[in-house]
């Protein structure tokens, strides 16, 4: 089998060497690329002879699949797979698996950090101090006692709930699947938006969730409420969020994901929105998460070669 890592996924040199030697011993070849493809044409040039393709969050088009006639398995070094043409993979008999769970702790911790940052206005106050200002006239808010509303309750949502409860928050959830979790109340989306002090998004991007947080839903939220999105950018209508922030319909927002991967164009509406924290998609980006991801990805390949498949998406 020809195994192609079409972009870097954070494997250490030691991990690369070990995996390369292990695969070579049983007759497989590996090619590691140390940079992202320039475009889909470049991606195709890397994958055209691949039996197994490894990508992280780089988009794979249907045209790339058509030009990669040997392809049998795509291993996604990510949780979300909305950048993979799943239906085309099904039609072509290409198996797809992901790295489910690798960044659960990392994303959950960032969510809590963003909530505290917005409540205490840490970033703006850093700027004030650097301009010789003081805290005069300023009071922040505590996380304890707030109602933390979670849209989605997969592994990450459940971890955020545990952390929020540890800070003394009440947790309410809207999810397709209702679970019996101590101290967590499952409610309708409308009720969650109306009652939550912090609304945090933890659902995948699908045709049904795209634009879920729109103008009408934002208007259901409290004027003191905060919105946090560490899931997928298109779940939130950015123009509607900008308008809600500008017109003080909600108090603040933290966004780690956009309509596409950074860099983000300078005229993006959220760049002009008040009381926001904007990050270049760092939710998963910890040393611990990347190390765990590397293990999951290489194990996914080894399991498949042994006739089994873990973390299967299709």
The tokens describing 248, both together, are 């003080």
Q: Judge contact between 190 and 150, C-beta under 8 A.
A: no
How far, in Å, CA of 218 to CA of 273, rounded?
15
Q: Tell me which residues are annotated as active site.
A: 232, 261, 281
How far, in Å, CA of 116 to CA of 99, rounded?
29
Question: What number of residues does the chain have?
Answer: 314
13-18 long-range contacts, Cβ below 8 Å, gap at least 24?
15/294, 15/298
Specify which residues 254 forms β-bridges with.
228, 277
Sign of the torsion angle spanned by Cα atoms 285, 286, 290, 292: negative
């Amino acid at each position: 089998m020809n195994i192609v890592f079409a972009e870097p996924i954070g494997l250490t040199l030691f991990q690369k060497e070990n995996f390369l030697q292990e695969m070579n011993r049983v007759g497989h070849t590996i090619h590691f690329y140390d940079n992202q493809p320039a475009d889909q044409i470049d991606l195709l040039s890397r994958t055209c002879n691949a039996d197994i393709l490894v990508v992280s969050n780089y988009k794979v088009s249907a045209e790339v699949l058509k030009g990669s006639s040997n392809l049998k398995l795509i291993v996604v070094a990510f949780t979300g797979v909305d950048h993979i043409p799943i239906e085309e993979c099904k039609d072509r008999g290409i198996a797809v698996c992901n790295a489910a769970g690798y960044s659960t702790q990392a994303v959950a911790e960032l969510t809590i950090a963003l909530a505290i940052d917005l409540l205490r206005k840490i970033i703006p106050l850093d700027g004030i101090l650097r301009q010789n200002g003081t805290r005069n006239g300023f009071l922040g808010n505590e996380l304890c006692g707030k109602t933390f509303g979670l849209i989605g309750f997969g592994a990450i949502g459940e971890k955020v709930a545990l952390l929020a409860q540890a800070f003394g928050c009440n947790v309410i959830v809207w999810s397709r699947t209702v679970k019996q979790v101590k101290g967590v109340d499952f409610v309708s989306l409308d009720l969650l938006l109306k009652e939550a002090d912090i609304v945090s998004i933890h659902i995948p991007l699908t045709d049904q969730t795209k634009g879920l947080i729109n103008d009408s839903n934002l208007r259901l939220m409290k004027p003191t409420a905060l919105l946090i999105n560490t899931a997928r950018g298109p779940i939130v209508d950015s123009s509607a969020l900008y308008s809600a922030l500008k017109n003080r319909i909600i108090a603040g927002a933290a966004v780690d994901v956009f309509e596409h991967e950074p860099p983000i164009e300078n005229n993006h509406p959220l760049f002009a929105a008040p009381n926001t924290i904007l990050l270049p998609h760092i939710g998963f980006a910890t040393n611990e998460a990347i190390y765990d991801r590397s293990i999951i990805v290489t194990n996914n390949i080894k399991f498949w070669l042994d006739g089994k498949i873990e973390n299967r998406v299709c």
